[in-house]
Amino acid sequence: MNRAIIQYILNRGPKNQVKVSILTTCLIISLSFVASSQATIIQNSTSTDQTIDSMVSRINTEVDAAFIYDFEQTKFVPPDGKTLLIMGQTQESITEYTDNFSNLPLPGGWSAYWGIPDFSGITKSLKNDTGSTQNHQMLVDSFPNTVVHSAMWMVGKWDVAKNAGKGAYDNVIKKYSTWAKTVNRPIYLRIGYEFDGPHNELEPREYVKAYQRIVKLMRAEGAQNIAFVWHSYAAPPFKDYPISAWYPGDDYVDWIGISVFGHAYGSSDFGPHCDNVLEFARQHKKPTIIAESNPVKGIDSENNEVWDQWFVNFFTFIYNKNIKAVSFINEDWSRLNIPGISDWKDGRLHNNMQIAKAWFHETNKDRYLKQSPELFNQLDFLKKQ
């Protein structure tokens, strides 16, 4: 009941029993209104819960037995039936994510980027040409009991890969190795990520030579907490080379990665190029990580269509192909100055609370490894040191 009305009745209203009667009637009306409002809230909450349950139930959790195999020559792999959850990919987007979902469990890892020609964005913040900021050390300092998912930019253009293979950036690699040893946690390093993407123009011979040199140098520097990730674009490749042409060899690869952007629209079959990478991983007995992913057509605040169009296929694929780690990029692509993606839209989870609730309903399952004092043990981190 409105406090001003009560005060008026007490001070200026009728006397004695009449006053009491009026107050009693008002109180009954007020309590009835509150009860009715609470019932509506509970009903709406129940309806929302049912909607979220229905959304998540459309994910097919069956696992293709062909993708259950023993992994060899690898590091930091989750136990059977588990998938490491990672979020990214800029300091701005990570801060947005934690601000919007501060009361929910944190992922098991965070993504960051850097470029092989220069030791920047590692120990200090670097704002790059895209308008976003990278800082590996910030992730280490801010999020204990999590892994670092580190992407090393290395392309064929401007002779970057050729120079790397000749040792031009050895001092940068040594600095990164020295830093890596200080963080005391698993680092999943993607060397020349999306190596087969036409946008990177990487000739296989130059890429393999550079990749092998980087791995050898990091190992010689004693950076044993790094798992090396060979990350494919999983789409039509540069000059139609077979993906095997870019392969550095089993001794140099711990994980095999794929990108999932437009792939997941329409069905959980992500096409022949993606199938080729998964089959290659199976043949070489390597675990697979979805190293970059986002519904790049955007998450609309007004409808949930993207859940069935993209997310259901995305999660179904994770189960079906026994994906061992997944990195989701929580980003508004329209605000980044990245050539070639001008039609990509805002794919941030907090745009739509029902989509976000369904996301957390799924990823809060025990299957997904999140921030925890037990995480490093689950990844056999200490045993691999």
Give the CATH number for residue 100.
3.20.20.80
Write out pLDDT tens, residues 328-360.
999 999 998 888 888 999 999 999 999 999 999
Could you tell me if 321 and 205 lie in one domain?
yes
Same domain for 134 and 162? yes
Residues 268, 161 within the same domain:
yes
Same domain, 26 and 161: no
Range of the domain at 325: 66-384
116 found inside a domain: yes
Are 30 and 78 within one domain? Answer: no
Asked if residue 352 belongs to a domain, the reply is yes
pLDDT in tens, 43-91: 334 456 999 999 999 999 999 999 999 999 999 999 999 999 999 999 9
203-225 pLDDT, tens digit each? 999 999 999 999 999 999 999 99
Structural domain includes residue 54: no
* 29 and 83 share one domain: no
Looking at the structure, tell me whether residues 70 and 13 fall in a common domain. Answer: no
The letter for the amino acid at 305 is E
Determine, yes or no, domain membership for 56.
no
Give Cα 258 to chain centroid, integer Å: 13
Indicate whether 73 and 35 sit together in one domain: no
Residue 52 lies in a domain: no
- Give CA–CA dist 228/74, Å, rounded: 9
Residues 8 and 82 in one domain: no
Considering the domain architecture, whether residues 10 and 93 belong to the same structural domain is answered as no
CA torsion angle 139 185 287 220 (round to 10)? 110
Pair 34, 80 in one domain: no
For residues 203 and 298, state if they share a domain. yes
SS (H, E, C) 339-373: CCCCCCCECCHHHCHHHHHHHHHHHCCCCEEECCC
Collapsing DSSP to helix, strand or coil, 110 comes out as: strand
**289, β-bridge pairs:** 257, 325
Task: Tally the domains of the chain.
Answer: 2
192 located within any domain: yes
Dihedral over Cα of 90, 96, 97, 98: its sign: positive
Q: Which residues of the chain have pLDDT under 70?
A: 1-48, 383-385
